[in-house]
Amino acid sequence: MMLESNAVDGHETIIGLEIHVQLKTRSKMFCGCAVEFGAPPNTLVCPVCLGLPGALPVVNRRAVELAVFAALALNCQVHSRSVFARKNYFYPDLPKGYQISQFDRPLTTSGWLDVPADAASTPRRVRVRRIHVEEDSGKSLHDRFAGLTAVDLNRAGVPLVEIVTEPDLRSPAQARAWLVRLKQTLEYLEVSDCNMEEGSLRVDANVSVRPPGVTALPTKTEVKNLNSFSQLERALEYEASRHLAILRAGGSVAHQTMLWDPARNESRPMRGKEELHDYRYFPEPDLLDLVVTEETVGQLQRQLPELPWQKQERFEKEYDLTPYDAGVLSASRQLADYYEALARISGAPRSAANWMMREALSVANELGVSVGEGFVDPARLAELMELVAAGRLSHNLGAEVLRSMVETGKAAAQVVAERGLEKIKAGSQLDQWVEEALSENPAEVERFRGGEEKLLAFFIGQVMRKSKGRADAKQLRERLLMMLKPERTDTGS
Ligand code: ADP
Ligand code: ZN
Ligand code: MG
């Protein structure tokens, strides 16, 4: 096992994250080209994002609004005046030879976002140092033509925010939990689709390890190329244990940028050349200062949706849910909206939560759909709940009926009628199955009568199998007890 927490020999792992997030705008940051993933290469370009001489950038208002929106949710201070800067470097996918970013006067600073309480980690508050707006670079494609690198500039100029945290995280698991919360928050805000595979959320992780008693920040390394939550966690564990081994051997960690190799499960230093950063930032002469009025900030503040932790807390209070259930059901806005509709229509919020947690999520998962999309309407699921509540269908067939409803689009009552799944109550059919179960298992009957009463579950199982799950469980239990203890007339216990 590698380093899992901050507790090895009292050494402390210190982590800070830098996250790039593509904003969900229709057009690019400084031109009118469309933003679209997967379009044919170099079809979404114009003189501005190609960096042709004389072309001038114009700021995308919507991108700035989305950035402010994110900043407000992360408790940041929004500055009424910020400055675009050129970040100069040479790379084939950067046609202008510089990226328009923000440097010493970013749009927003000094916020925070807490790690969810269930991540069992302290301290929980992670300070957000800054969020600035910038443009994305193009993409180098190394796998299209043998021996050649191709360049696709569709992504050049796509609006980004870069979110930088203070070094406040204390373990790889905590870093992961915090990033999950950040992604969830940005999805709630609909500022980005946060698709890590498509690169609309990209994370670089900085890590160092501090011996007990040291308070200064030790030398860190930065790990790049992390494309999933598990890669983030694994890469941080790897780096932290590498640092620890160096420190224990009396060595010192080199300040380096590392590349994570998911195939080999290890990080290795980037080549020195790639790392030589001298960006020669200077204010972008083609753009005025970015001015965001208090009025705009106020308007956006009023548009902020209920955030994940607020929704979770409200679900706990309003619907009497456990923190765990409330957490799961508020994981996305879509899921939460579905649950609330179901709670309202069924008039039974707790039961609705149980149906969501047990049947709905597992059926959706099995069928590879998401609740709320390609699933049954909440009203239809409420009808199924009602069939069970009214004693017409046994609860253990709920998932099966629901699966069939999703697959066929039929209503619960129709599925139950067509497949003959009505609950079978006390009567000759039930009695016959009970008698069969007893006569087929004489040894178990004897053992039961000899005092092994836990065998009741065995007999219930036998009859349930014969009835294909349709037997009324309560009545079956009563019936079995009566038959197994013929001397007793009182079936209660
Ligand atoms: P640099 O000057 O190398 O870019 P910064 O101070 O600008 O470093 O910080 C960049 C990122 O690295 C931030 O997310 C910050 O929280 C994180 N960071 C800084 N120092 C450390 C450290 N000693 N250990 C872990 N992360 C750190
Ligand atoms: Zn363009
Ligand atoms: Mg820095």
What does the alpha-carbon distance between residue 338 and residue 319 come to, in Å, rounded to a whole number?
Answer: 14
For residue 470, pLDDT beyond 90: no
Residue 359 near residue 388, CB atoms below 8 Å:
no
The pTM assigned to this predicted structure is 0.87
pLDDT single digits (tens) 137-176:
999 998 888 999 999 999 999 999 999 999 999 999 999 9
What does the alpha-carbon distance between residue 109 and residue 130 come to, in Å, rounded to a whole number?
Answer: 4
Bridge partners (DSSP) of residue 146 are: none
Sign, Cα dihedral of 279, 281, 287, 289: positive
Cβ–ligand 1 contact at 207 (below 6 Å): yes
Cβ–ligand 1 contact at 166 (below 6 Å): yes
pLDDT single digits (tens) 274-296:
566 789 999 999 999 999 999 99
What is the band of 120 on the pLDDT scale with cuts at 50, 70, 90? low
pLDDT single digits (tens) 427-459:
877 888 888 888 898 888 888 888 888 888 998
For residue 488, pLDDT beyond 60: no
Choose which residue among 17, 131, 132, 206 to substitute to test ligand 1 binding: the one with the highest number of ligand atoms within 8 A of its C-beta: 206
Token reading at 441: 């298992």
Q: What is the pLDDT of residue 66?
A: 98
How many residues in the chain? Answer: 493
What does the alpha-carbon distance between residue 325 and residue 331 come to, in Å, rounded to a whole number?
Answer: 10
Give Cα 88 distance to the centre of its chain. 34
Q: What is the pLDDT of residue 486?
A: 64
More confident residue, 71 or 460: 71
Q: What angle do CA 385, 319, 304 make, to 5 degrees?
A: 115
Strands 282-283 and 266-269: unpaired
What ligand is nearest to the CA atom of residue 27?
A: 2
Give Cα 317 distance to the centre of its chain. 23
Burial class (CB in 10 A: 0-12, 13-18, 19+), 486: exposed
Q: What is the pLDDT of residue 122?
A: 60
Cβ–ligand 1 contact at 256 (below 6 Å): no
Residue 325 near residue 355, CB atoms below 8 Å:
no
Look up residue 195 and give its amino acid.
Answer: N
What does the alpha-carbon distance between residue 292 and residue 323 come to, in Å, rounded to a whole number?
Answer: 38
For residue 273, pLDDT beyond 60: no
Mean pLDDT over 351-358 rounds to 96
Q: What is the pLDDT of residue 163?
A: 98
What does the alpha-carbon distance between residue 237 and residue 259 come to, in Å, rounded to a whole number?
Answer: 14
Cβ–ligand 1 contact at 220 (below 6 Å): yes
Cβ–ligand 1 contact at 184 (below 6 Å): no
pLDDT single digits (tens) 76-101:
999 999 999 999 999 999 999 999 99
Whole-angstrom CA distances from 127 to 15, 91, 136, 177 are: 12, 32, 25, 15
CA-nearest residue for atom 13, ligand 1, is: 16
Cβ–ligand 1 contact at 466 (below 6 Å): no
The alpha carbon of 23 and the centre of ligand 1 are apart by a number of angstroms equal to: 24
Q: What is the pLDDT of residue 87?
A: 96
